[in-house]
Each structure stands twice: as structure tokens, then as C-alpha cells.
């Protein structure tokens, strides 16, 4: 299947999804997940010190520690 066809189909699916979404005025609260605790307390610690270098190593192109996104694509 060629790229254009996939794009057209994806757009169709999204447009149909949008139409359905547009008909919903109000979501019932029951849809939200209920948990006893809903906020993070002070003192939480969880960091991944090696992540930054792994992310930059995997980036296709970096400059001045920034990731270079494809230009003019957005």
C-alpha cells in the first residue's frame, strides 16, 4: 500500500473519530480512575541519571546538546 493511501485512510479514521467525539457534550465522571491518593507527596525520588546520555546517543542528529528535529516538517 502506498504512503498516500495510508495517509488518506488515517485522515478518514481521524475525521470519523472527531465527528464521534464532537457529539459528546459531557463525559461522565465515572470514566476517571479513582485511587485513594491522587497527588504526589513531597520527597518522592525517582530519577534516571543515565537517561540523558542514552537519549542523546540514540538521537539521529544533535547540536549543542539539543536534538535536531526535521526542519519545515511542521
Q: Is position 1 an interface residue for other proteins (rule: CB under 8 A)?
A: no
Query: Residue count at the site for other proteins (CB under 8 A)?
Result: 39
Element housing 62 (H / E): strand 62-63
> Do 21 and 27 meet the contact criterion of CB atoms below 8 Å apart?
no
Q: Please, which residue, 6 or 67, has the CB nearer to other proteins?
A: 67
Q: Cα-flanking dihedrals φ and ψ of residue 16, to 5°?
A: -65, -40
User: What would the grid cell of residue 31 be?
Assistant: 470514566
Q: What is the binding site for other proteins (CB under 8 A)?
A: 14, 17-18, 21-22, 24, 26-27, 29, 31-35, 37-42, 44-48, 51-52, 55-56, 63-71, 74
Amino acid at each position: 500500500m502506498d504512503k498516500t493511501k495510508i495517509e488518506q485512510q488515517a485522515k478518514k479514521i481521524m475525521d470519523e473519530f472527531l465527528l464521534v467525539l464532537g457529539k459528546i457534550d459531557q463525559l461522565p465522571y465515572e470514566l476517571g480512575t479513582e485511587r485513594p491518593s491522587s497527588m504526589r507527596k513531597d520527597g518522592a525520588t525517582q530519577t534516571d541519571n543515565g537517561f540523558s546520555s542514552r537519549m542523546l546517543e540514540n538521537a539521529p542528529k544533535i547540536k549543542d546538546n539539543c536534538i535536531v528535529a526535521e526542519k519545515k516538517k511542521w
